[in-house]
Amino acid sequence: MSKHHVTTSINGEPVEFLCKTQQTLLDVLRNELHLTGSKEGCASGDCGACSVIVDGRLVCSCLILGCEAEGTSITTIEGIAQGDHLHPVQQKFLEHAALQCGFCTPGLIVATKALLDENPNPTEEEARYWLAGNLCRCTGYDKIVRAVQAAAADIRGETVA
């Protein structure tokens, strides 16, 4: 079967890849491009472990095809930090012990960045609503929400007690 040639930008770098028609973007990221930070939890759009940002929109990479990435700009968990410099979301997740396992955390970090790009001052309710698509059965989400709000304050240039 012939493959599609896709030209895109991933984490600020021009990227070209070949993919089969039925390959999801998640499959391409993990198995063709070896960007394994995005995880496959459910493969059906329910868990958020595969979250990436495509042209500024938070999407489940298990729900779109690699072919659909043509001409888009994609941010994955690997592109959130700038070299050794953690993104404020990552820093605050660390400081607030909001890190969970390696399956849910990448998606939560990406989803939180997407939230704060769109709304730099979310209420607790807005943060919880936004992250409702990122499932973790092991936490009550309180530390995560505190980390989200601390990161938001940091990005706004405010200090929090």
Q: Which residues are near ligand FES by CB under 6 A?
A: 40-43, 45-50, 60, 62, 100-101, 103-104, 136-138
For ligand FES, give the closer residue by CB, 26 or 154: 26
Shortest separation between residue 24's beta carbon and ligand FES, angstroms: 8
Residue 152 CA to residue 84 CA, distance in Å, equals 20
Residue 35 CA to residue 49 CA, distance in Å, equals 14
- Which region holds residue 45: left if phi is over 0, alpha if psi is between -120 and 50, else beta? left
Shortest separation between residue 52's beta carbon and ligand FES, angstroms: 10
For ligand FES, give the closer residue by CB, 8 or 24: 24
Shortest separation between residue 111's beta carbon and ligand FES, angstroms: 11
Shortest separation between residue 103's beta carbon and ligand FES, angstroms: 5
User: Which residue shows structure tokens 């929090």?
Assistant: 160
For ligand FES, give the closer residue by CB, 38 or 149: 38
Q: Name the nearest CA neighbour of 141 among 87, 88, 100.
A: 100
Query: How many other CB atoms are found less than 10 A from the CB of residue 101?
Result: 12
Paired tokens of 19 = 């993919």
For ligand FES, give the closer residue by CB, 66 or 154: 66
